[in-house]
Amino acid sequence: MSKRRLSRQQRLRIAENQQNELNSTDKDSPINEFSYNGRIISHYGQQLDVEVLAGENSTATIRCHQRANLPPLVTGDLVLWEQDTEEAGVIVAKAKRKNVFARPDSQAKLKPLAANIDYVLVVFAVIPEPFLNFIDRYLVAINSLGLEPLLVLNKVDLLSTNPSEGVANMLSIYRGLGYPVIEVSALQGTGIEALQANLRNKIAVLVGQSGVGKSSLVNRLGHDHLADVGDLSKSKYKGTHTTTTSRLFHLQNFDLIDSPGIREFSLGHMDADSVLAGFLELKGRAAECKFRDCSHKSEPGCAIQAAIENGNITVDRFESFQSILNSME
């Protein structure tokens, strides 16, 4: 078995361990993914709103509380609920999670924000000027959670007046690495159909720096018309929505779980191996360096420096990698 292969397996194991840790309570999960009858679409305090997924009320939502023996539930969790009072239900079990979207808290402990996510949309824009390193930080974090990124370049309408070599270079680097990249204009609607086609029947969350157009994109994708699930009206949430950790919206042909907390997603502390694992083109080669503790800077027999010299690794990505490592020290 090649070293490269091992390293990929290690990466998967790390992601799996991290997910297992987040899902530790799942071991005793009494229901599997086929026997749930609801999905958490919003939660605040002790209250949870559950979308009814089975039976005659299948588009309705029901306000629920959860049995005390259950772990904290997050938006996107699939659950088994029962009618409790005429108005409210009680959640009695949680289905096994496919994955968890989590963010480090102030103690660097991962705090789950949403579950069962298909894509993390990493939004960047022609303006404010994007930096490879911002995007790489998201990619490292997404990789460590075992989630799938979808890169979205917004404001392409500005390219005609602001042609940018930096942007073109970034797109070519990410496409070269095999990441899906979609170019859109939330303002003019360009590329929105392609984005929707990629997200069909999926559940996504959206992250990105302030000002890149996340709100505009959500509006363009249909939030204005279809934001409200079932019979929940926006007015009902007035005054309480600020305490909502996250909320699921049915958009045109996919679901979006959104909240300020998710949008402000950050990397937090990570060890050097996890950072390396997030750089697809570096992680396999690092195993081929002559010295096991190679810093990839000036050691003889460094496979990464060799790959930079022959053009298989870009200096930009290598510098971005080093910059993340330095910021973690």
> Cβ closer to ligand GDP: 153 or 307?
153
Contact call for residues 154 and 116 (beta carbons, < 8 A): no
Contact segment (CB under 6 A) with ligand GDP among 60-68, 79-87, 135-143, 211-219 equals 211-219
- Looking at 289, 307, 308, 313, which residue binds Zn ion (CB under 5 A)? 289
Question: Tokens 């360096």 sit at which residue?
Answer: 289
Contact call for residues 218 and 204 (beta carbons, < 8 A): no
Residue number with the smallest Cβ distance to ligand GDP: 213
Spell out where the chain has E strands: 38-44, 47-52, 61-66, 78-83, 88-94, 100-104, 110-115, 119-125, 149-154, 181-183, 203-207, 247-250, 255-258
Interface with ligand GDP includes 214 (CB under 6 A)? Answer: yes
Six-digit token pair at 209? 């720096």
Separation between Cα atoms, residue 275 and residue 269, nearest integer Å: 10
**Any idea what DSSP says for residue 93?**
E
> Cβ closer to Zn ion: 97 or 317?
317
Q: Compute φ and ψ for 240, nearest 5 degrees.
A: -110, -20
Question: Tokens 């992250």 sit at which residue?
Answer: 207
Nearest approach, Cβ of residue 212 and ligand GDP (Å):
5
> Cβ closer to ligand GDP: 129 or 309?
129
- Looking at 150, 181, 212, 277, which residue binds ligand GDP (CB under 6 A)? 212
> Cβ closer to ligand GDP: 120 or 308?
120
- Looking at 61, 185, 245, 305, which residue binds ligand GDP (CB under 6 A)? 185
> Cβ closer to Zn ion: 38 or 284?
284
> Cβ closer to ligand GDP: 118 or 157?
157
Contact call for residues 195 and 184 (beta carbons, < 8 A): yes
Interaction pattern, residues 216-255, with ligand GDP; x per rule: CB under 6 A: x---------------------------------------
- Looking at 70, 80, 158, 328, which residue binds ligand GDP (CB under 6 A)? 158
Interface with ligand GDP includes 210 (CB under 6 A)? Answer: yes
> Cβ closer to ligand GDP: 30 or 260?
260
Contact segment (CB under 6 A) with ligand GDP among 112-120, 181-189, 231-239, 289-297 equals 181-189
Interface with Zn ion includes 304 (CB under 5 A)? Answer: yes
Contact call for residues 281 and 109 (beta carbons, < 8 A): no
Interface with ligand GDP includes 110 (CB under 6 A)? Answer: no
**Which residues, other chains included, contact 106 with Cβ-Cβ below 8 Å and sequence gap of 6+?**
none
Separation between Cα atoms, residue 155 and residue 27, nearest integer Å: 44
Nearest one of 155, 224, 150 to 186, comparing CA atoms: 155
Task: Catalog residues that contact Zn ion under the rule CB under 5 A.
Answer: 289, 294, 296, 302, 304
Task: Catalog residues that contact ligand GDP under the rule CB under 6 A.
Answer: 154-155, 157-158, 185-187, 208, 210-216
